[in-house]
């Protein structure tokens, strides 16, 4: 067990990301978000794109899970490989300072392509690999291909995986039963108790993004609930 993985055990990773057009878009903002996450007690960060990762690296000494999202107006999140699709994108975020490279290891890419990509990243860059998967089969395969950490990130983001508003605790439990790799629980975590349940299900670490670092969506969540309340009150006057 390497020291990096030990640092993440039983801890919270905070995902600091903002897309173009969002209020917090920009490397300076992500660096500040990373600093805030560290002050709050995070044990690691997840960052997207080289410039953001470089800025985050200058601000904190926390381990960074790096990703490189490739998207345009035609991208279908259920169909397309978005997260670190190529060795070249992996190399860019590694050179920017990522301590862990996360990549899409779903069956939207052939098993052979996934195996070759993991092998090349680990041998040429000598860096820890996190496999973002959506099903038990994908997680088992990624572990066999050499991924160090298996992450539930893409559960619900493939047409064939579990679709739910709740985190996929069952997938965590299934992975723990089948493989020895550390499991990163990620996806749809909104409440502290959901995080605790993930650890109770066997997670090694938990990654949370939107619920912490996207204030426009946090605000919308409260406003949506308020609108439900106001509608109910109006109907029962």
Percent of the chain surpassing pLDDT 70: 100
Task: Say what the pTM is.
Answer: 0.96
Q: What is the mean pLDDT of residues 60-85?
A: 95
- Please check the confidence at residue 34 and state whether its pLDDT lies above 90: yes
Alpha-carbon distance values, 49 to 67, 89, 221 (Å): 6, 9, 27
Q: How far apart (Å, rounded) are the C-alpha atoms in residues 196 and 211?
A: 15
What's CA 185's distance to the chain center, in Å?
A: 8
- CA distance from start to end of the chain: 62
Q: Name the band, by pLDDT with cuts 50, 70 and 90, for residue 60.
A: very high
Query: What is the domain class of 3-235 according to CATH?
Result: alpha beta
Alpha-carbon distance values, 75 to 46, 82, 130 (Å): 22, 8, 23
- Please check the confidence at residue 33 and state whether its pLDDT lies above 90: yes
DSSP 156-220: TSSTTS---SS--HHHHHHHHHH--S-EEEESS--SHHHHHHHHHTT-SEEEE-HHHH-HHHHHH
pLDDT digits (tens, 9 = 90+) for 95-142: 999 999 999 999 999 999 999 999 999 999 999 999 999 999 999 999
Query: Domain map of the chain by residue range?
Result: 3-235
- The predicted pLDDT at position 1 comes to 55
Element (H, E) at 102: strand 100-104
């Amino acid at each position: 067990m390497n020291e990096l993985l030990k640092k993440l055990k039983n801890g919270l990773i905070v995902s600091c990301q903002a897309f173009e057009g969002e209020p917090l878009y920009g490397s300076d903002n992500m660096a500040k978000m990373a600093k805030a996450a560290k002050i709050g007690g995070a044990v690691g960060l997840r960052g997207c794109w080289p410039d953001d990762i470089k800025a985050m690296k200058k601000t904190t000494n926390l381990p960074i899970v790096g990703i490189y999202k490739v998207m345009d107006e035609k991208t279908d999140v259920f169909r397309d490989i978005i997260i670190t699709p190529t060795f070249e994108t992996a190399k860019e975020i590694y050179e920017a300072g990522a301590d862990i490279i996360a990549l899409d290891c779903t069956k939207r890419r052939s098993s052979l392509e996934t195996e070759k990509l993991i092998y090349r990243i680990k041998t040429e860059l000598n860096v820890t690999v996190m496999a973002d998967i959506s099903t038990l089969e994908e997680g088992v395969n990624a572990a066999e291909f050499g991924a160090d950490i298996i992450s539930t990130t893409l559960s619900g983001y493939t047409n064939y995986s579990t679709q739910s508003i709740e985190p996929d605790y069952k997938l965590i439990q299934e992975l723990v039963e089948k493989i020895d790799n550390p499991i990163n629980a990620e996806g749809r975590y909104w409440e502290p108790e959901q995080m605790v349940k993930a650890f109770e299900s066997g997670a090694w670490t938990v990654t949370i993004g939107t619920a912490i670092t996207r204030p426009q969506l946090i605000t919308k969540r409260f406003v949506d609930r308020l609108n439900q309340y106001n509608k109910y009150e109006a109907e029962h006057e």
